[in-house]
Amino acid sequence: MGSYGMLAKRAVLTDTPVMVQIQELLRGVKGAVSLAQGVVYWQPPRTALEKVQELVWEPSISRYGADEGLPELREALTKKLREENNLCKSSVMVTAGANQAFVNIVLTLCDAGDSVVMFAPYYFNAYMAFQMTGVTDILVGPGDPNTLYPDADWLEKTLRETKPTPKLVTVVNPGNPSGTYIPEPLLKKISDICKNAGCWLVVDNTYEYFMYDGLKHSCIEGNHIVNIFSFSKAYGMMGWRVGYIAFPSEVDGFAAQLLKIQDNIPICAPIISQRLALHSMEVGSQWVTDQVKDLVKNRELLVDALSPLGEGAVKGGEGAIYLWAKLPEKFAKDFEVVRWLANKHGVVLIPGSPCGCPGHIRISFGGLVEADCRLASERLKKGLEELVRDGMV
């Protein structure tokens, strides 16, 4: 029934979600292990879950709440932003996850036809958020070939020379899909370039607690900066759908416009989920850090599994839950490699193409406990050895 002609171009011309394709692949391969989805293996803190279990009969749980989020959660978040992130002049809106936060921000700040800037490899859902809102002029900047840090010189030149000036620049810190973190001096430099050009900077801090090797995540604040956060990975709350936006309090009209978007999409984030978020925060961020530190072992196993790709092929991984690897030159068709690895070796990854980098793969080290990760890395290593030696036979 019907034809594509009857469907909105904004949807039809938006990329197909890679996770949906990969989930289909996973369902089709019996016994496959997944290094694909960006998830963590833990559940929310036990005491927080127990408190929420008792809440379901409370009438307020079944009603709508304030669009901006429960006052007590926003208060706790304002304190957290001030104490942990050094963000003192930001207002908070609670959303149904960081992805919804990002769409809210794009709808609040960008008009169809505006140009925006991302850096490769980029987060596919952010790219899709632009596409589906008519912000189709997406300028993709390079990363440093060794560190994958966003190229600030390219940014400066691009913002200076592109007319009209791009409306918004976005980065993920530490990154999805690369796991690369952005050192504070570089983040400040990017921020200054955006400020001087009259352009917004949106920083996705979903993985703020996922830092390794003594590195420290930092945020910056300004009247041209929006910071996005998520409860999904930190507190193992993927399915509860809670994230939040820290936006500049001093910018006239920002809150009012953001509220219009929020009121038309979720109205409010699920109330029970917000209560769980609050109780999880009461347990504290040290709990998150304790979970995260064990992921180093998974990362080690997977770095070894990727060794057949050769020296210099594996990048990132100093933050978030991802390693990023280049396939040998002749395997630019990364979807084919991912399918082959799934079907022949029972291990599933994400191809680099949906992140703007064909010929690459993303490996997630957050979703499996160490024993399962060991199995996945054995399969991956065997598969990659075979790929490099014999091709996809």
Residues found near ligand PLP in the complex (CB under 6 A) = 38, 97-99, 123, 172, 176, 204, 206, 230, 232, 238, 243
How many Cα atoms are found within 13 Å in the side-chain-facing hemisphere of 247? 23
H-type alpha helices, 13-96: 18-28, 46-53, 59-62, 71-85
Which CB, 122 or 331, lies closer to ligand PLP?
122
CB-nearer residue toward ligand PLP: 45 or 308? 45
* Side chain identity at residue 237, one-letter code: M
Q: Residue 177 Cβ, how far from ligand PLP at the closest point, in Å?
A: 8
- Residue pair 279/52 in contact (Cβ under 8 Å)? The answer is yes
Nearest residue to ligand PLP on Cβ basis: 97
Which one, 359 or 366, has the nearer CB to ligand PLP? 366
Q: How far is the CB of 98 from ligand PLP (least distance, A)?
A: 3
244 sits in which H/E element: strand 243-248
Query: Please, what is the minimum distance in Å from the beta carbon of residue 173 to ligand PLP?
Result: 9
- CB nearer to ligand PLP: give 38 or 308: 38
Least Å distance between CB 125 and ligand PLP? 6
Residues 6+ apart with CB under 8 A from 198: 165, 224
Within 10 angstroms of residue 17's Cβ, the number of other Cβ atoms is 13
E-assigned strands of 301-341? 314-315, 322-326
Residue type, 196: N
Specify the residue, 99 or 115, whose C-beta has the smaller distance to ligand PLP: 99
What is the nearest approach in angstroms of ligand PLP to the Cβ of residue 121?
12
Residue 85's region, left for phi above 0, alpha for psi from -120 to 50, else beta, is: alpha
- Closer to ligand PLP by Cβ: residue 182 or 384: 182
d(CA 242, CA 101): 9
Find the shortest distance in angstroms from Cβ 326 to ligand PLP: 21
